[in-house]
Structure 1
Amino acid sequence: MWGAIAELPEWLLLGLGLAGASTLLVALAFVAGQRAFPRLEDDPAGSPEREGAERRLAEIRHYLEAIDERYVEKTTVAGQRVEFYLPERDVAVTFDARVFFRLEATDTDPVLVEHELPGGHLGSRLPFETPEIATDEDADAGVATAFAALGLPASADVEEVRRAYRRRVKEVHPDQGGDEDEFRRIREAYDTAREHAD
């Protein structure tokens, strides 16, 4: 067998060697990429990304219940997996743009929602009239508290919120001798303030 390999032209052996090395490098790059940037489904249950996604789903649930709209969560519609389906109106709510475009070719009305969209803003995306829901004074107080935790006025813009968060998180991070509860409170304040920043 080695004799047959030795009879192959040098350029062919070099090409095969380079192809094998390139394939190995690409495979290693994919493994490193998956570890550095895990998908949301692969994140541990307590990760900030998972908590944000769960909070967003809870906000959408709360909104749909507030407008008294019946829904089914995490179901398949026309062969596509969606986060919410409103069966009485044949409306599918998804976070995935590919699913949205596939559903556009069906009779179902798809609604694409970014992960950052507050659940209470879903009504503007729905293809039917939605009732106005009363604003919750507690939510307004929570927004004011979030800005105050970052040391900002409620009129701060997104960039000011980001800078204040970076400053505050350095002060309270557990790795810098800060308190874990305070660190969590600042992270939550940042999420809320970022959503409501001008």
Structure 2
Amino acid sequence: MFTRHVISSVLPEWVFLLPSWLVVGLVVGAIASVVVAGVFVVGGRLFPDRQVSRGPHIDGVGRRRLEIRDYLTAIDERFVEDRPIHGETVAFYLPERGVAITFDAQAFFRLERAGVFAVLCEHEMPGSQLGRRLPFDVPDLEPELADLDDPISAAFDRLDLPVNASSDAVRNAYRKQVKDVHPDHGGDRERFRELREAYTMAREHTEN
């Protein structure tokens, strides 16, 4: 009697109106759910999932950093990465030249106002083209190191243009081709990157 009184004080009255077989089924189901959940918890701790290593992911900025790092090493120029200069953290700093290299346009202008020679590298600019923007003479590298096997002609060829094409022609050719290779339109990322690099190089050539 005491046990029934305790149970009736915990459970609502409508439970006692249900058939006994249904009540037993609900209780057994609840116990089974708890047991299964406990098995999953214990199994997860004893046998944790192994994460598959897919290798380091290199985004656009990371790729440019790698290319610039390789280029500066190839020309034997000493550099420091992520160096604070006048309140701005630049991607690369050449201490023997006093030259700052950054991907941030705002930092570039602030450094120039502070009297620091800064080089702005767009994310799509090939690292091998850095030498054209440095304020000192750089050694000529082997084509396989600098990837400079007539890059200007290669850039215009990529855009299906002659080398003496105008800046408007370069811009129009890029806009025409980018629709087919842009990743947002189902294009290939590598082809899009190559097109961007070709456009940047061809545009700089027409502006010089």
Report the counterpart of residue 133 of structure 2 in structure 1. Answer: 122
Question: CA separation of 1:162/1:184 partners in 2, compared to 1, >3 Å: closer, same or farther?
Answer: farther
Report the counterpart of residue 194 of structure 1 in structure 2. Answer: 200
Structure 1 counterpart SS, 2:89: strand
Deviation at 1:121, TM superposition (A): 1.5
Aligned-pair identity (%): 36
Write the letter of the residue equivalent to 1:134: L
Distance in 1 (CA, whole Å) between partners of 2:183 and 2:87 is 45
Q: Is residue 2:178 matched to residue 1:169? A: yes
Write the letter of the residue equivalent to 2:119: V
Q: Is residue 2:65 matched to residue 1:57? A: yes
Q: How does 1:148-163 map to 2 (within 5 A)?
A: 148-163=157-172
Asked which structure has the greater CA Rg, the reply is 2
Q: Is residue 2:111 matched to residue 1:99? A: yes
Distance in 1 (CA, whole Å) between partners of 2:155 and 2:201 is 11
Distance in 2 (CA, whole Å) between partners of 1:131 and 1:85 is 16
Q: How does 1:59-74 map to 2 (within 5 A)?
A: 59-74=67-82
Distance in 2 (CA, whole Å) between partners of 1:175 and 1:80 is 33
CA RMSD across the alignment: 3.4
Question: CA separation of 1:168/1:68 partners in 2, compared to 1, >3 Å: closer, same or farther?
Answer: same
Deviation at 1:78, TM superposition (A): 5.3
TM-score (norm 2): 0.50
Deviation at 1:187, TM superposition (A): 4.5
Unaligned runs of 5+ residues in structure 2 are 1-56
1:119-160, CA deviations, whole angstroms, 9 ceiling, x for partnerless residues? Answer: 12133x2xxx54422362743355444433322223323321
Deviation at 1:64, TM superposition (A): 2.0
Tell me, yes or no, if the aligned pair for 1:161 and 1:194 is still in contact at 8 Å: no
Distance in 2 (CA, whole Å) between partners of 1:173 and 1:100 is 34
Write the letter of the residue equivalent to 1:112: A
Tell me, yes or no, if the aligned pair for 2:68 and 2:130 is still in contact at 8 Å: yes
| Count of residues in correspondence between the two structures | 136
Report the counterpart of residue 191 of structure 2 in structure 1. Answer: 185
